[in-house]
């Protein structure tokens, strides 16, 4: 049996950057992700917090200079002469604002989101995201796949989510800040968030996966399937099982499979 805080033994689970952890439930989607070395990036509508990345908190800037930039940018990209003439005649500032506002929600929803955490000894995460200690926790070395993990950033927890003004032309990347703020009630997650410009399956380098931690209450069939998948698809990934429910500051585990 090993303790997560015994960092001197050869089978220690390293913590701190660049090590990141992802909890998954015991289902076919998790097994598919593990077998095919991908992570599923969800859109913001699939998140479990309605305030998280909510486009309702984004309002387009009403600054006249910013509106002029937006108008010119749209106009420059209209190639059809008739459409261009209609646009010039009918698209005043109010209509332009109304039109552009309708594009914010689909723009925000186009991003893919995957959630990680800084530490594996998190009782609530094992309960909530690993289905009461029956699933797994994946340990990655983010430095081994810097392309995949290049923009993983910590969530900033705030007392409340405030409305923000978005300048679509002069500060197009400012909206990204929307994805990295959550209310303080979620601060126990110690979340690290990875954002992609698309949703769905995105593959990671198999070598970036270091360890698989299986929950203490996992079913034996699930354990056997996980071990089989790791043996068949990874060269240097260890599998451990948590010995008892995780408590604050405590995680004990035993080896189930150590590749030669």
- Indicate the Cα dihedral angle 113, 114, 115, 120, nearest 10°: -170
Q: Which domain holds residue 11?
A: 2-54+108-257
Mean pLDDT over 74-80 rounds to 63
Residue 58 confidence (pLDDT): 72
CA 241/CA 257 separation, integer angstroms: 10
In a domain, 128, yes or no: yes
The answer as to whether 173 is a domain residue is yes
Task: Name the residue with higher pLDDT: 61 or 223.
Answer: 223
Provide the pLDDT for residue 209.
98
Task: Report the percentage of the chain scoring pLDDT > 90.
Answer: 56
Indicate the number of domains in the chain. 1
Determine, yes or no, domain membership for 212.
yes
Q: What's the rounded Cα separation, in Å, for the pair 78 and 72?
A: 10
Structural domain includes residue 45: yes
In a domain, 64, yes or no: no
CA distance 148 to 34: 16
Provide the total of helices (H) and of strands (E) in the chain, helices listed first. 7, 15
Closest CA to 259 of 19, 11, 4, 1: 11
The answer to whether residue 60 sits within a structural domain is no
Q: Is residue 98 part of a domain?
A: no
pLDDT of residue 2: 76
Q: pLDDT of 182-233, one tens digit each?
A: 999 999 999 999 999 899 999 999 999 999 999 999 999 999 999 999 999 9
- The distance of Cα 129 from the centroid of its chain, to the nearest Å, equals 13
Q: Let me know if residue 94 belongs to a domain.
A: no
The Cα 214–Cα 18 span in angstroms is 21
């Amino acid at each position: 049996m090993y303790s997560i805080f015994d960092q001197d033994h050869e089978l220690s689970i390293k913590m701190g950057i660049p090590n990141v952890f992802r909890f998954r439930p015991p289902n076919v989607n998790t097994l598919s992700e593990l077998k095919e070395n991908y992570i599923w990036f969800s859109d913001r509508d699939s998140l479990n917090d309605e305030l998280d990345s909510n486009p309702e908190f984004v309002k387009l800037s009403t600054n006249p200079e910013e509106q002029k930039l937006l108008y010119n940018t749209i106009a420059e990209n209209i190639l059809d002469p008739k459409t261009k003439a209609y646009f010039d005649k009918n698209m005043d500032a109010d209509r332009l604002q109304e039109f552009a506002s309708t594009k914010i929600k689909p723009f925000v929803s186009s991003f893919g989101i995957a959630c990680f955490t800084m530490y594996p000894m998190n009782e609530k995460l094992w309960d909530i995201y690993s289905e009461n200690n029956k699933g797994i926790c994946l340990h990655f070395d983010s430095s081994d796949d810097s392309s995949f993990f290049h923009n993983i950033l910590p969530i900033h927890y705030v007392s409340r989510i405030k409305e923000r003004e978005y300048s679509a032309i002069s500060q197009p990347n400012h909206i990204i800040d929307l994805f990295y703020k959550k209310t303080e009630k979620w601060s126990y997650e110690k979340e690290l968030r990875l954002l992609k410009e698309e949703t769905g399956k995105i593959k990671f380098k198999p070598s970036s996966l270091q360890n698989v931690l299986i929950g203490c209450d996992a079913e034996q069939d699930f354990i056997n399937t996980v071990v089989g998948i790791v043996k068949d698809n990874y060269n240097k990934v260890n599998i451990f099982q948590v010995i008892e429910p995780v408590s604050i500051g405590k995680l004990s585990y035993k080896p189930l499979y150590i590749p030669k």
